[in-house]
Amino acid sequence: MTSDDVKKTGTTTLGMVCKDGVVIATEQRATMGTLIAHKKTKKLYKIDNHLALATAGLVGDLQSLARYLSAEANLYRLKRDAPMPVKSASTLMANIMNQRKFMPYYVQLVLGGYDADGGHVYALDAAGGSIPDKYTSAGSGSPYVFGVLEDHYKENMSKEEGVNLAVRAISSAISRDSASGGMISVAYISKNGFEAISEDEVKQKMAALKK
């Protein structure tokens, strides 16, 4: 499967490392070819209090992988009385997908989280590749996201700056990619855990971009 095959499923996701945490974001449109199948679809999954997964691809595969990783993260916490490191979670997910590379999961994933070593973001492909980066994006709208991030991302951004940039980048994809649309889901993960940014706050940020 090529990256172009995955892009045909639609979606825009992103993850970026900020000064004190990680921002993960997605839009919510689900498409089947030219049909908008669902206007509000869950693509951002809380895996543990310190881990989140942004997903692009087939819904069944995505939901299955999110449940699998969440269960493994919970087992790790129970056995070791400590949260699973972000790198370990990424490696585990990469190994799961690599085992199916000849009949692969039809997905692109962005895994983000915060652990004892700070914030981390990983891009995972359908064949099991796992690549850490300061920021990344996946799905059909990713070229537009990368365009915004390449121009505006900077290291050591505050939570507010990171959330604002995420909304700006996803909004750019929504404006140009027909497979991306609807509301934007945003989460911020720091030493204080997983925080879902409220829909009202996201709407305010989206409205501010149009002024």
Measure the CA–CA gap between 83 and 117, rounded to whole angstroms.
12
Measure the CA–CA gap between 86 and 73, rounded to whole angstroms.
10
Dmax (CA) for the chain in angstroms is: 51
Per-residue tokens: 195: 């925080």
CA dist 39 → 3, 67, 183, 188, 199 (Å): 24, 22, 8, 23, 15
Annotated active-site residue in 2, 9, 11, 13: 11
- Catalytic-residue membership of 11: yes
Strand partners, 55: 109
Active-site positions read 11
